[in-house]
Amino acid sequence: MTEQQFLLALNGLRNDRQHGASALARQALLILQRSAEQATDCDEASLRLLMGQRCTQLCQIRPSMAVINGLLARWQQAVDHFHDEEGSLSTAMADQAGQLIDLSLQAVIDSARHASQLVQPGQTLITHSCSSTMMVMFEQLQDQNLAVIVTESRPLNEGVAVAHQLRRWGMDVTLITDAQMGLFAARADLAMVGADSLLADGSVVNKAGTSLLALAANYCQCPFYVLAESYKRTADLPEQLILEQMSGDELQHDFPADKTSNIYFDVTAASLISGWIDEHGVSYDGELK
Amino acid sequence: MTEQQFLLALNGLRNDRQHGASALARQALLILQRSAEQATDCDEASLRLLMGQRCTQLCQIRPSMAVINGLLARWQQAVDHFHDEEGSLSTAMADQAGQLIDLSLQAVIDSARHASQLVQPGQTLITHSCSSTMMVMFEQLQDQNLAVIVTESRPLNEGVAVAHQLRRWGMDVTLITDAQMGLFAARADLAMVGADSLLADGSVVNKAGTSLLALAANYCQCPFYVLAESYKRTADLPEQLILEQMSGDELQHDFPADKTSNIYFDVTAASLISGWIDEHGVSYDGELK
């Protein structure tokens, strides 16, 4: 992977508004894997320098997505202990990235399986934004006669793609504006969302609007679950967070972009969350395992 | 006003998504005024029949907007007691409509004045959707160095026009998606919205998303005020309400319109409201005067 190719891939990650944090973390690992695979002619020192720099750059790209930093830090830590035996370091680095991708995928599958056990056939579920882990759960729940209320998820409306996919899986989908979450939380049996990061105090960083769904669900006593594999945990607290702000132009209004706010994430307090679901099961006490 | 002209005007009211209930009620009265003015050649019986029918049709057009029914019912009640002295009934009917328009406008002005006294210079206010009464208040607050957070107000984004007008009045406006209300309620000194109807239990019918703003404001202890003249009061309770549902096409997504929900209003419970402002002043106890 040349420097030019790497920068192009990095830019793709920076501008990706369709995928959730977990999918983007695996893409970041894939970029490291490709970088290592194609760096077989480097000596050890330049290989470590190149890969370390790329890892750092990937870590900085989406600061609200703890899972990217978390998995890349695990990769860095592992490869720091590798020895370069007869030029095998690049292969070992690539393998390590591949193993972490597999680990993340398995955690997603296991988390989704635990989540799917919370949903009864014929129930109505409300969700917000798009989470790859949520989509794996929905795929496992095909033919369960589910009704799903899906928010459009402004500004880029990734909820519309979710709604289409759920319809293909035979679910009874209702697409709503984000503003109708209050009306529809009252009609749902449960609310469930993915997460970009799980903070140390049990609060959750996810697409802007998630905290509104949590408030609305709590208000009408609809349980509110967060589905996120443990790799999304961070030691950060809400006050240490950097919430990504994108260009105001994404709202596509005839209004000055610098007077238009487009903060992508909000924080939902642990007190509003009924249960946290990860690859180990469901936790109900706000104490992340 | 011929039948054809009346039906055109009626349709205009039906499809108007830019104006609030109070402005539409005055438009309905104006239609009655014009109808009466131009019916001078009717005998009393046909005049009463024609005007009664038009009044009924106007009442049915926007069922979530109590102020339309309220003011038209007052008009009907008054003209039922009028006598047709030498063919003066049509003029008296037109005058009555004009008087009710003036009464409504004065109530708006007085309500806005009371509301403006709650806002201190330099404060930050968050609002949702467009209310003509709110706009009168904002006009009174020019040069008060206000910062105003305005939601786009999906699906038709009437908040964008509000944002433009407030900027013309020299305010520091931030336009946000409805989904960012949770983030921005925490940055506001107060939240204030108009209303389409005030229900008997103190709860408020307003544009979908209002209940989310109220929940978010309550959560971060930001006071949440409702500004609406007393003509918007109805004896209805939330369970008697018909919440208008418009076409799913208004969301403009590539998704089946019949699987897209576009309910225009939601109900905000009295327990979430810090104060009700009308032409008589501010009430803090949820007991409408």
pLDDT at A166 over 90: yes
Greater confidence, A246 or B20? A246
- A64, A196 contact by CB (below 8 A): yes
Q: Would you please indicate which residues of B are annotated as catalytic (active-site) residues?
A: 196
What is the DSSP track for chain A?
--HHHHHHHHHHHHH--SS-HHHHHHHHHHHHHHHHHT-TTS-HHHHHHHHHHHHHHHHHS-TT-HHHHHHHHHHHHHHHT---STT-HHHHHHHHHHHHHHHHHHHHHHHHHHHHTTPPTT-EEEE-S--HHHHHHHHHTTTS--EEEEE--TTTTHHHHHHHHHHHTT-EEEEE-GGGHHHHHTT-SEEEE--SEE-TTS-EEEETTHHHHHHHHHHTT--EEEE--GGGB-S--GGG----B--GGGG--SS-GGGB--B-EEEE-GGG-SEEEETTEEE-SS---
Q: How large is the average pLDDT for residues A278-282?
A: 97
Q: Which of A40-49, A105-114, B132-141 has the weakest average pLDDT?
A: A40-49
Residues of A with Cβ-Cβ distance to B182 under 8 angstroms: 208-209, 211-212, 215, 266
Distance from CA of A14 to the nearest CA of B (A): 21
Count of alpha carbons within 13 angstroms of residue A172, beta-carbon side: 10
Q: What does the pLDDT read at residue B286?
A: 58
Distance from CA of A221 to the nearest CA of B (A): 14
A207–B261 C-beta distance less than 8 A: no
CB atoms within 10 A of CB A119: 21
pLDDT at A287 over 70: no
CB atoms within 10 A of CB A201: 14
Q: Which residues contact B285 (CB under 8 A, 6 or more apart)?
A: none
Q: What does the pLDDT read at residue A243?
A: 86
Point out the residue among A153, A216, A259 whose CB comes nearest to the CB of B215. A216
Q: What does the pLDDT read at residue A289?
A: 46
Q: What does the pLDDT read at residue B287?
A: 56
pLDDT at A56 over 90: yes
CA distances A265 to B91, B187, B238, Å, are 59, 15, 33
Which candidate in A129, A164, A203, A212 is best for mutational testing of the B interface (most B CBs within 10 A)? A212
Q: What does the pLDDT read at residue A222?
A: 98
Q: Which residues of B22-34 are buried (b: 16+ CB within 10 A; e: fewer)?
A: bbbbbbbbebbbb
pLDDT at A244 over 60: yes
Q: What does the pLDDT read at residue A217?
A: 98
Q: Would you please indicate which residues of A are annotated as catalytic (active-site) residues?
A: 196
B261–A175 C-beta distance less than 8 A: yes
Residues of A with Cβ-Cβ distance to B255 under 8 angstroms: 160, 163-164, 175
Distance from CA of A26 to the nearest CA of B (A): 27
Q: What does the pLDDT read at residue A95?
A: 96
Q: What does the pLDDT read at residue A42?
A: 87
Q: What does the pLDDT read at residue B134?
A: 96
Q: How large is the average pLDDT for residues A218-226?
A: 98
A260–B175 C-beta distance less than 8 A: yes
Per-residue pLDDT of chain B (289 residues; tens, 9 = 90+): 899 999 999 999 999 987 888 999 999 999 999 999 998 888 999 999 999 999 999 999 998 788 999 999 999 999 999 987 877 899 999 999 999 999 999 999 999 999 999 999 999 999 999 999 999 999 999 989 999 999 999 999 999 999 999 999 999 999 999 999 999 999 999 999 999 999 999 999 999 999 999 999 999 999 999 999 999 999 989 998 888 899 999 999 999 999 999 999 999 999 999 999 999 999 997 555 4
